[in-house]
Structure 1
Amino acid sequence: MSPSSPPTDTIFVQAYVGLGANLGNAAATVRQAAAELGRVPGISSLRLSPLYGTAPVDSSGPDYVNAVAGLHTTLAPLDLLAALQAIEQRHGRERPYRNAPRTLDLDLLLYGSQRIGLPSLTVPHPRMHERAFVLRPLADLAPGLTLAQGSLPELLARCAGQPIRHLD
């Protein structure tokens, strides 16, 4: 075992993170943020879905570029959230009002099978089952995944009125 290898008894949790942006060069920002996330200590095996374009949902501004990253992590949920927020800040994320256009938005969607209900973090993400821009890229990474509200194909069918276009 090399000095940088984790101990063999380390427990990794499968987590999924939603990435989105609609200001600046959104596609480049999403890709860069995924690369930065993959370099966070305690995160490994990051896979990024294809990028998708969508109109804002409960928001305004230009169309969004969205993706989902699947990863393995040894970080506790709040530590992972702190890493996500640090990446957002490095990309100039501002929160002037709810659902404002953004340079980068990183949401912890799933953290293993855990249910977390804290003032700063709710997992599973409370609206992910209603958003094609989350479900479509999530299905690319984990097609057999079932959420409490149903399978990804079932949930995507319920979002048929939300156009989504493959970008890459």
Structure 2
Amino acid sequence: MLPKKMLKVTLFLCVLLNISNAILTRKSTCGNIRRWQICCRGRIINRNEPNVQCCGTRVYNPALSICCGGQIRLRQSVDSMCCGIHSYRPSLSLCCGGQVSRRQGLGSACCGTDVYEPTLLICCADKIRMRQGRFSRCCGSNVYKSDSHTCCNGTIKVKTGRRSNCN
């Protein structure tokens, strides 16, 4: 039998150890993990830096890298984005149809996997076409002037009066 004072110290140490163990561990899908560990898809990995994140079963520093499609890529800039498994800089490029393409100007837009300038061109059914003035519209993959023509079921027709004649 332990003396009363020894019993109190032992009890205190047990409580202290349980509290410190609770502080150092947390529940996850990996079970209990320590503060210096991270659980990535069921795998316990020791953190080599405090702010690491998971990318699949690997860790990375989000200040330096980005996780794109399960691949760790270097950040192109602070505002880096993913396009499939590639990282790109949105101020310089666009992600068009899963491909990174260089911008052609501030108003650049995607047409399928290509980049175009909408002030000069128009995208019709994933085909880049030359605008035919201010009233350019698409009819399928063709361009027409909506002030003088109309699109009827994929066919461009001349307007008669102000109404469309799609009969």
TM-score range, shorter chain: under 0.3
Higher relative helix content: 1
Tell me the TM-score normalized by structure 1.
0.18
Higher relative strand content: 2
Higher relative contact order (CA 8 A, sep 6+): 1
Tell me the TM-score normalized by structure 2.
0.18
**Structure number, greater radius of gyration:** 2
